Structure 1
Amino acid sequence: MLNRTSNTPTAPLSAEDRVRLILELVVEQGFQSVDSLAIRFGVSTQTIRRDVNALCDSRMCRRRHGGIDIFHDAENVHYSSRRILHHEAKLHIARCVAEAIPDGASLFFGIGTTPEECAQALVKRQGLRVMTNNINVALALTRNASCELTIAGGRLRNPDGDVVAGEAHGFFSRFSVDIGIYGVGGVAEDGSLLDFSHDEVRMRTELSSHCRERFLVLDHSKFGRRATVRGGHITDASCVFTDSPPPPHITDMLNERGIKLIVAQTLPLPSPAVFSQGEI
């Protein structure tokens, strides 16, 4: 694990861990030069170039002269990259979400890797009824024999494994469920929710309009992250699940509106009684 207060790792890293940390640096800080990465990780520039090649060949990042950078803000990070970014944080968030969902609940799942992790954490929950436009969520929950699954129809976005195009519009409005679980591309300074396409925003807005409780799930990197399409606000959620305390002004917004905040990394896991079947 990279020491946040130092420019060098605390212990020798495997190639896999080093690539993951390079990806996190590029996503959070932008362009990284080969030379600076070699110094930071205490390896040769040749080793870093191999790491850069691996990230770029898999379309997780793009090459720039002397280093590596993320794709333009108009594009989200490739799904395969997002799956490994802040993975431990997403696991903590997913465990908290799973503890808050009772057997027999009806659920919406939106797109993204954090909702996918939440679905993975629910494979042993009994009697769930799930509606989703996220194929990765559906595949995860097929391992739960007691789960009833309904999937949105329409054109599939192959790299992301989701359905957000016009054919899927109106899918969530056909149902009314206990809890909607959704992520977001970014959260602006004023608390606005941001995504990368109008279709993504429309599907998320429809999802949140037809559930009794709204669980927004996002890791710390989403606060202040730029994306191009605005829709909804963080205070529209019933409960916000994250892994580190949000910026103070965001926390103040949530407190003022009485929105429950679960910080998975610093708070004990909530009991299943957080939302009982009677409350939802």
Structure 2
Amino acid sequence: MPGRKRQQDLGNMASLSERQRDILGRVRAAGHAEIGALARLYDVSPQTIRRDVNALCAADALRRVHGGVELPRQGANLHYASRRSLNEGAKRAIAEAFAALIPSGVSLAASIGTTPSYAIQALEGQRDLTILTNNLNVAICACDRESWQVQLPGGTVRPDDRDILGPGVEAFFARYQVDFGVFGVGGVAEDGTLLDFTEEEVAARRAIAGNCRRSVLLLDRTKFGRPAHVRGGHLTEVDHVICDAPLPGALAAALAARGGEMTITGEAQ
């Protein structure tokens, strides 16, 4: 039964309307929304909005509260399908900017998360790539490219997140020195600390960053202030940050002072 429910939830996410996706993005940015305010914003009835948010709640993307809707409980990430559809335009723009940095014939380590999967998907023009990843969606995409090689660590799969974590993953990345390490994060604190939802996520990300010649952080603007709670690394330790909006001034200056680069895609949300 749990497996059947998971498949139903993923199917619900795939069939969301444009308005439902927009509602999800707005609640993701603000943390909550009132039914009445959403009805006025979209010029529809409260009953219509209730049907929209009920669909989002059925997919475990949101949670109903009295008079409105909010994100799932703090400290838990959204289901992969929910996250993949969230801010999709920004993520695709970030992915295209990443693809412009990557030549053929190099090696990459790619982390868990939705934005790295978009980034690897965008490398459709590159040949002879070697991809190391604990992200199953990245692996599936990479397997479709005739001249690419794909390597995965052993371990237990997290079905809802479509990835592999644990000490074996950290040891896997530590065995290699790749040309590029590409990763996202659960959130970025005001002081630039990088945040994720579990210690295993942080450890895997840091293993990638520590075993590559050039680290690339893919970051959409909603990650700033997001309440992930496990600390691990700092934005200024990254070689290149690609974001859909300018970084806060102090962080941008600190990154530049340490020799880091920025690419701003300018994708409006």
When normalised by structure 2's length, the TM-score is 0.91
- AA matched with 1:162: D
Match of 1:169 in 2: 170
Contiguous gaps of at least 5 residues in structure 2: 1-15
Identity %: 43
Q: Which runs of 5 or more structure 1 residues have no equivalent in the other structure?
A: 1-14, 267-280
Contact 2:111/2:182 (8 A) holds in 1: yes
Q: Matches of 1:169 and 1:245 in 2, distance apart?
A: 31
Q: Offset of 1:167 from its aligned partner?
A: 3.6
The aligned residue for residue 256 of structure 1 is 257
Aligned residues: 252
2: CA distance, partners of 1:228 / 1:256:
27
Once the two structures are superposed, residues 223-256 of structure 1 have per-residue CA deviations (whole angstroms, 9 ceiling, x without a partner) of 2222110000111111000111111111111121
Return the letter of the residue paired with 1:145: E
Deviating 4+ runs (over 2 angstroms): 165-169
Aligned match of 2:241: 240
- State the match for 1:44 in structure 2: 45
Q: CA deviation digits over 1:139-187, x for unaligned, max 9?
A: 1111211000001110100011000133423110011110000000111
Alignment-mate amino acid for residue 80 of structure 1: A
Contact 1:123 1:143 in 2 (8 A): no
1:30-75 residue CA offsets vs partner (Å, 9 max, x unmatched): 2211111101111011110110111011111111122111012211
Judge conservation of contact 1:124–1:144 (CA < 8 Å) in 2: no
Please give the secondary structure, in 1, of the residue aligned with 2:17: helix
In structure 1, C-alpha distance between the alignment counterparts of 2:218 and 2:31, rounded to whole Å: 24
Query: Is 1:24 matched up with 2:25?
Result: yes
- Please state whether the residue corresponding to 1:171 is helix, strand or coil: helix
Q: 1:120 and 1:215 mapped to 2: Cα distance?
A: 16
Q: Following the alignment from structure 1 to structure 2, what is the Cα–Cα distance between the partners of residues 232 and 96?
A: 23
Residues 118-129 of structure 1: pairs in structure 2 closer than 5 A: 118-129=119-130
- Please list, as runs of the form range in 1=range in 2, the aligned pairs for 1:1-150 lying within 5 A after superposition: 16-150=17-151
What letter corresponds to residue 219 of structure 1 in structure 2?
A: D
Q: What is the alpha-carbon root mean square deviation over aligned residues?
A: 1.2
For the 8 Å contact 1:186–1:223, the answer to whether it is kept is yes
- Residue 103 of structure 2 aligns with an amino acid whose one-letter code is P
Worse-superposed segment, 141-150 or 246-255: 246-255
Maintained 8 Å contact 1:223/1:246:
no
- After TM superposition, the score normalised by the length of structure 1 is 0.87
Aligned partner letter, 2:208: L
C-alpha contact (below 8 Å) 2:128/2:148 kept by paired residues: yes
1:118 CA displacement: 0.3
Report Cα offsets for 1:108-157 as digits up to 9, x if no partner.
00011100000110133100001000001011111211000001110100
Counterpart Cα distance in 1 of 2:233 and 2:89: 27
Query: Larger deviation: 241-250 or 127-136?
Result: 241-250
Offset at residue 189 of structure 1 (A): 1.1
Partner of 2:3: none
Query: Residue 7 of structure 2 corresponds to which residue in structure 1?
Result: none
Please list the CA deviations of residues 189-215 of structure 1 after superposition, one character each: whole Å capped at 9, or x if unmatched.
111100000000000011100000000
Give the secondary-structure state (helix, strand or coil) at the position aligned to 2:215: strand
Q: CA deviation at 1:79?
A: 1.3
Alpha-carbon distance between aligned partners in 1 of 2:169 and 2:210, rounded to the nearest angstrom: 15
